[in-house]
Amino acid sequence: MSSILYRPREGQRIRMPNGQPDWPADGRPVNFASPYEARLVKDGDLVKVQSKPAPKVPAGKTGGSN
């Protein structure tokens, strides 16, 4: 499985087969071994969740000893 999260396209609700809960609105990884999940990505029904950039460390503060 991938560690990249995918969420339903805006305004979309993704129902899962076999009584599983709907795809979470905040996203989860896609199992690309599943033809159903891979097709959801290919068709554009699932989109990557934009990751938040890592916090920037102020210049000159490396945390090392002097």
pLDDT in tens, 37-54: 999 999 999 999 987 666
Is 5 a residue whose pLDDT tops 80?
yes
| Domain ranges across the chain | 5-48
Beta carbons within 8 Å of 36's beta carbon, 6+ residues apart: 17
Does this model's pTM top 0.75? My answer is no
Q: Which residue has the higher pLDDT, 61 or 41?
A: 41
| Residue pLDDT, tens place only, 14-39 | 999 999 999 999 999 999 999 999 99
Please work out, in degrees rounded to the nearest 5, the angle formed at the alpha carbon of residue 17 by the alpha carbons of 14 and 20: 80
Most confident of 1-5, 15-19, 55-59: 15-19
